[in-house]
Structure 1
Amino acid sequence: MKSGATLFADASGRYAYVSDGFSWPAFFFGPLWAVAKRRWWLLLSMLAMELCLWFGSQYATGLHIGPLMLLMMSAELSYLLARGWYGNRWLEASLRNHGYAPVVPGTGVRY
């Protein structure tokens, strides 16, 4: 078993690992990470957030308002950090909602 990760299993015998801590793949790849993990609702919410941030950035750049551009840049950076900090928690919550449960280490029994 991977160290620093939790193994989840569902009733049909499918398994998934969820790492602990910061998710570098979610930080760097965002929606592509959600596709790779097959979390479609998470993908839709990420795409909606990225679309809002993109439109806001385009609007701020078009108006040439420095403080608004700075605000949008900080919002985009905050969103990137939030994806990294919460990515593994979002994945775990999604797995639990789909019937996955943590496996007891060494026994293979779900709890």
Structure 2
Amino acid sequence: MKPGSTLYADGSGRYAYVSAGFSWPAFFLGPLWAVAKRRWWWLLPMLCLDVVLSGCAELADIQGREAALLLASCVQLSYLMLRGWYGNRWLEASLLRQGYFRVA
């Protein structure tokens, strides 16, 4: 078993590992991480937030508003940190809802 991770299984013999702590893949990849983990209902909200936040930053940059650009960048960074902090917790909760149980 991977150190620092929890093993989950379901009744049909499928297994899934969930790492503890910060999720670097969720932080950097976001929607691609949701696809890799087959969490399709996370994909659309993550894509929408990425597009909206990037659009806000682009608009602030085009208009030359440094304060708005700084605010948009801070909000984007906060969103990335949120994905990293909660990515593994979201994955664990999703597996439990799908009928997986903790093995080790």
TM-score computed with the length of structure 1 as normaliser: 0.87
Task: Percent identity, please.
Answer: 61
What are the Cα deviations for residues 27-49 of structure 1, in whole angstroms up to 9, with x where unaligned? Answer: 11111111111110111121111
Q: Equivalents in 2 of 1:45, 1:100: separation in Å?
A: 24
Alignment of 1:1-40 (within 5 A): 1-40=1-40
- Secondary structure class of the residue paired with 1:12: coil
Rg larger for: 1
The gaps in structure 1 that reach 5 residues or longer are: 106-111
Q: Equivalents in 2 of 1:2, 1:13: separation in Å?
A: 18
Q: Which consecutive aligned stretches of 4+ in structure 1 deviate over 2 angstroms post-superposition?
A: none
Amino acid at match of 2:37: K
RMSD of Structure 2 on Structure 1 (CA): 1.1
- Secondary structure class of the residue paired with 1:57: helix
Partner of 1:71: 71
What are the Cα deviations for residues 22-68 of structure 1, in whole angstroms up to 9, with x where unaligned? Answer: 11111111111111111101111211110110221122122211110
Partner of 2:87: 87
Amino acid at match of 1:78: S
The gaps in structure 2 that reach 5 residues or longer are: none
More helix by share: 2
Q: Equivalents in 1 of 2:32, 2:46: separation in Å?
A: 10
Shift of 1:77: 0.8
Partner of 2:52: 52
- Secondary structure class of the residue paired with 1:13: coil
